[in-house]
């Protein structure tokens, strides 16, 4: 099950948990209200018989799918890629990730610009909305396999902060703050 908490922002290893003292967890319902991030739990050992994934793909029109393994041994240009993943950025489209093995952290900014750290483990599917400031890191185990989905041809381009003038950013902020 996914877990989320507010981060302490001290500059030690990003792969550590970075809990506040005392820890301040974010219930899943709050995660959506505070960030727009959506979460689904899938039965990773029985994905074929779990209709949740097929339904999500159909409903949201995901036509593209691949799988990425992130570890020092498997990912070409590992250090460079991780630096890019951990630079605070937005995308013009949703970032959809299903953790199938290993684990990792998606950090997302909440309404008040505080970092919330979301731990994904096998079976966790996250939909990170277009326009939200976020970043990704491995945890201390240095290993994740994730499936990625997209509507049409994938565009993974990150736009580093500040990107406040981009349409995707403006639309995200408006939706989060008013739903109008």
Binding site for Ni ion (CB under 5 A): 95
CA distance 131 to 45: 32
138's contact among ligand KMT, Ni ion, none, with CB below 5 to 8 A by partner kind, is none
- Nearest residue to 103 via CA among 84, 85, 86, 118: 118
Residue 94 contact among ligand KMT, Ni ion, none, beta carbon within 5 to 8 Å by kind: none
Site for ligand KMT in 73-92 (CB under 6 A): 85
Q: Half-sphere exposure (CA, 13 Å, Cβ side) for 1?
A: 3
Instruction: Map residues 101-130 to x or -, x wherever contact with ligand KMT holds by CB under 6 A.
Output: ---x--------------------------
In order, the DSSP letters of 89-155 are EE-SS-EEEEEEEE-EEEEEE-TTS-EEEEEE-TTEEEEEPTT--EEEEE-TT--EEEEEEESSS--
Nearest residue to Ni ion on Cβ basis:
95
Instruction: Tell me whether residue 134 is annotated as binding.
Output: yes
Q: Which of 34, 37, 90, 97 binds ligand KMT (CB under 6 A)?
A: 97
> Judged by CB, which is closer to ligand KMT: 31, or 96?
96
**Interacting residues of 52 by C-beta distance below 8 A, sequence separation 6+:** 40, 42, 43
Record the tokens describing residue 58, joined without a space.
């159909």
Residue 18 touches which of ligand KMT, Ni ion, none (CB < 5 to 8 A by kind)?
Answer: none
Taking the complex as a whole, how short is the minimal distance between the CB of residue 91 and ligand KMT, in angstroms? Answer: 8
Give residues with Cβ within 8 angstroms of 101, minimum separation 6: 122, 143, 144, 145
Peptide bond into 167 cis (omega under 30): no
Binding residue for ligand KMT, selected from 5, 115, 133, 136, defined by CB under 6 A: 136
Binding positions for ligand KMT, rule: CB under 6 A? 68, 85, 95, 97, 104, 136, 144, 146, 156
Annotated binding site for Ni(2+): 89, 91, 95, 134
Annotated binding site for Fe(2+): 89, 91, 95, 134
């Amino acid at each position: 099950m996914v877990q989320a908490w507010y981060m302490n922002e001290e500059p030690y290893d990003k792969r550590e948990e970075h809990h506040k003292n005392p820890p301040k967890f974010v219930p899943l319902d709050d995660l959506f209200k505070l960030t727009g991030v959506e979460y689904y739990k899938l039965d990773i050992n029985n994905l074929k018989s779990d209709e949740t994934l097929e339904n999500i793909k159909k409903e949201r029109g995901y036509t593209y799918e691949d799988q990425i393994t992130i570890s020092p041994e498997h990912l070409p240009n590992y250090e460079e890629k991780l630096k890019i993943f951990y630079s605070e950025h937005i995308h013009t489209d949703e970032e959809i990730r299903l953790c199938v093995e290993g684990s990792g952290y998606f950090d997302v900014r909440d309404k008040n610009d505080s970092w919330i750290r979301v731990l994904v483990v096998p079976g966790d599917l996250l939909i990170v909305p277009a326009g939200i400031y976020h970043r990704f890191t491995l945890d201390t185990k240095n290993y994740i396999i994730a499936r990625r989905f997209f509507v049409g041809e994938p565009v993974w381009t990150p736009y580093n902060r500040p990107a406040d003038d981009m349409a995707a950013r403006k639309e995200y902020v408006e939706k989060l703050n008013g739903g109008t």
